[in-house]
């Protein structure tokens, strides 16, 4: 991760994309969110969704996994350039998670995160707090999920 001082409000992270399939939708939902419209195609077709849809939690967790992979790629690139790597986390939680549209089997969601606030932390003076809004958009350009997270990021200049 970049250091706190090197991140600006408005910076965008291209987190990555994920394709939801009948198989991965069902595999996730059977374990964590076994509602019929996530696990049974025939029942889902008769529901108000009209077809199998991903658990909203699945659309959030796909973002989380892509975000971790994205940070690893950033760290590798920085290491390759001989730059020091800042520590990140833990996350405090998030707010305003919205499931805006259903995600159907076959949909590919592209996730991006934009930094909305950077502030110092009184409880951890060696770190600052980064707040960012993450959005997933489907192949038709429609936002399907949005959430706002806050996490600690290491400062380059320790007080």
Chain residues binding a copy of itself by CB under 8 A are: 31-35, 49, 56-57, 60-61, 64-65, 68, 89-99, 102
d(CA 66, CA 11): 17
Beta-bridge partners for 118: 130
SS3 33: coil
Q: What is the dihedral of CA 146, 150, 155, 159, to 10 degrees?
A: 150
Residue placing its CB nearer to a copy of itself in the complex, 10 or 48: 48
Please state the closest distance from residue 35 (CB atom) to a copy of itself, in A.
6
d(CA 129, CA 75): 19
Residue placing its CB nearer to a copy of itself in the complex, 8 or 15: 15
Please state the closest distance from residue 145 (CB atom) to a copy of itself, in A.
8
Please state the closest distance from residue 98 (CB atom) to a copy of itself, in A.
4
């Amino acid at each position: 991760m970049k250091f706190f001082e090197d991140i600006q409000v408005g910076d965008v992270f291209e987190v990555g994309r994920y394709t939801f399939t009948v198989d991965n939708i069902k595999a996730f939902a059977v374990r964590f969110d076994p509602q019929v419209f996530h696990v049974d195609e025939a029942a889902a077709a008769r529901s108000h969704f009209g077809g199998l849809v991903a658990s909203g939690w699945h659309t959030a967790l796909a973002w989380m996994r892509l975000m971790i992979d994205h940070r690893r790629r950033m760290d590798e690139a920085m290491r390759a350039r001989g730059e020091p790597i800042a520590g990140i986390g833990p996350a405090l939680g998030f707010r305003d998670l919205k499931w805006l549209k259903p995600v159907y089997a076959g949909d590919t969601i592209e996730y991006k995160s934009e930094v909305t606030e950077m502030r110092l932390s009184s409880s951890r003076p060696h770190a600052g707090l980064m707040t960012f809004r993450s959005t997933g958009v489907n192949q038709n350009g429609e936002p399907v999920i949005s959430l706002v997270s806050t996490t600690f990021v290491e400062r380059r200049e320790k007080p």
